[in-house]
Chain A
Amino acid sequence: MITLLLKTPASIQWFSRHIIRNRKTVHQLILFVIAPFLLSFSWSANAQLNIVTTTGMIADLTQNIGGDKVKVTALMSSGVDPHLYKATQGDLRKLLRADLIFYNGLHLEGKMQDVFEKMARKKPVYAISAELPPERLRHFDTHPDPHIWFDVQLWKQAGQYILKMLSQHQPDARKSFEHNAQRYFQQLDDLDQWVRQQMATIPQNQRILITAHDAFGYFGQAYSVKVMGLQGISTAAEFGLQDMKQLKDVIVNNGVKAVFVESSVSPRFIESLMKGVRAEGHELKIGGELYSDAMGLPGTPEGHYLGMVRHNVNTLVHALSGEAQ
């Protein structure tokens, strides 16, 4: 017996003992491989338009316009940085089953944008920034700035594009879409007014917004705030020592009271900036957390677009105007 054991290679024995003889293992393996295929069939066709979006902000906008005629799913959950998002197997399934796909465009989604452009050959896939007036778009060297949602008026225009595409795909629900859109656009107009009023309460020379990365360019442009960031437009790029020193000078010279951390970017950059400024004897505090590339958790007030903008503006006003706290 022993000599026989020694003669046959261990590997063959292992295969025969554990893989071939054990039918149960084989069956389980087959189950695991075939189950995904069967499951991908098991979706029921319903009247609701199945829409997939990349960011939560686009999902929120689409849901508000589509109402109960659409079912919206966002690929990126709250707190996910869209620049660094990695696709999962489930995302593939969601994209395959979608009737309609909306993404931000302007390279917010990075390499995924190429995929969307290729998908557009077969499926209705739209960049919501497609019909924005080019003169309203900001540029960072040659790259466009994708963070359009912080200019409420610009976001409303993106909403009009979504309304157009939804109506095109489901003409019978057009009335309902338009009704929803009118109501929601009114809310956006009110929000825009409110933001202007709130920002006006901050003294002109104190309207400086300093965060970790340049997500608030459109916000600054629309509501006349000077925006400065440590990192460039993409959160993947590192900042240089020179950037840090320039920012420190601006803070000390203008007597800036607060800087801000962002929900989807690590706070360590801002913390190191704080240390640097405090070393020069200037009092600086963290004004609070701003939502930049992703919204808050679902169910909280910041879990939808209107609440997210309100939270950001409240945080800014509190910290910069020096009233409360």
Chain B
Amino acid sequence: MISDLWILATASLVAVACSMVGSFLILRRQSLLGDAISHSVLLGIVLAFLATDSRSLPVMLSGAVLIGLTTAWLSDQLHKTGQLQSDASIGIVFTLFFAVGVILISLYAGDIDLDQECVLYGEIAFVPFDTVIWGDLKTGIDLGPRAFWMILIVFAAVLASVVVFYQRLQTVTFHPTLAVSLGINVVFWHYFMMTLVSMTTVASFDAVGAILVVALLVIPASTAYLLAKSLKQMLWMAAGFAELAVLIGYALAFWLDSSISASIAVSAGIVLLAVVVQQQFYQRRLRTQTAIQSPLSAN
């Protein structure tokens, strides 16, 4: 019972944090950045390991966040100075980083189990077992899962940034040229956003594994994009759809005895599909109603 609650709480925090960050990514047409980071972190892990000779989690996480930021920066540079499409430049950078990571492993760390599956990606079903204990191992107070606390910190950071800097982020996202003429430091806000993305994805990878994070970054935000009329509405809806996917997904995993993260990802897809179908239906009905009523209103 308590384990189910911890899993749901962790998944919900991941879901809401990812959906908020994902909304901005979608509006900036960079929604595959999360997927890109999930691959390029390999290079970050390897470099961090080679630099410190340690496989501890803080080292791996800082390496991963830094390389995530570098991925965002380099693909942006390629897009701007190299005149390449933004999706193509993301694709170039993360495959390159991943490949360099693979080569470095075979050169320097061949006989050590070092890959993102092994040292970074978590499994959400096992979240309740890895707890933080205050004080002595046997007698200390159990504070709950480590993944939960970490994602809570990241969630708080994302939420605070979005609430406090809402106006800035909105201007920079929708009217970059206006922002420049208003004297807003667009470059700073761009990297501020990228830092949030990198931090959120890496912390979420550690808590729940890669597929779920990529799915939660893209799907709930896209669902909200179909319906929302303003940025504020989109953020609220994305968070709502993400949470809905978590709840349905967990029930699905329970019912089918399947992988929790895969079930949540599938539920997010089902919710999106339901909204698309509903919207089609609604639009068609609106059209027919207008067709019937317009001769009357002309009178």
Contacts and interface: CB of A to CB of B under 8 A. Distances in A.
B1 interface: yes
B108 interface: no
A88 B258 CA distance: 5
Nearest to A125: B129
B62 interface: no
Contact of B233 (A9, A35, A41, A142): A9
Contact residues on A (Cβ < 8 Å of other chain), bracket: 35 or more
Contact of A11 (B228, B255, B297): B228
Interface string A131-152: 0000000000111000000000
Interface string A76-100: 0000000000111111100110000
B111 A33 contact: no
Interface string B120-147: 0001011011110100010000000000
Interface stretch (B32-40, B90-98, B183-191, B286-294): B286-294
Q: Interface SS of chain A: helix, strand, loop or mixed?
A: helix
Interface in A261-276: none
Nearest to A40: B1
Contacts of B129: 95, 115, 118-119
A32 B251 contact: yes
Given A2-B293, A88-B258, A92-B3, A33 B278 contact: no
Contacts of A115: 123, 126, 129-130
Contact residues on B (Cβ < 8 Å of other chain), bracket: 35 or more
Given A2-B293, A10-B282, A37 B4 contact: yes
A278 to B, nearest CB: 32
Given A2-B289, A118-B129, A121-B137, A89 B118 contact: no
A11 B233 contact: yes
A24 to B, nearest CB: 16
A297 interface: no
A10 B279 contact: yes
Given A111-B118, A118-B131, 7 more contacts: A9-B229, A11-B228, A11-B229, A40-B1, A87-B125, A118-B130, A143-B113
Interface of A: 2, 5, 9-11, 14, 18, 29, 32-33, 35-37, 39-41, 86-92, 95-96, 107, 110-112, 115, 118-119, 121, 141-143
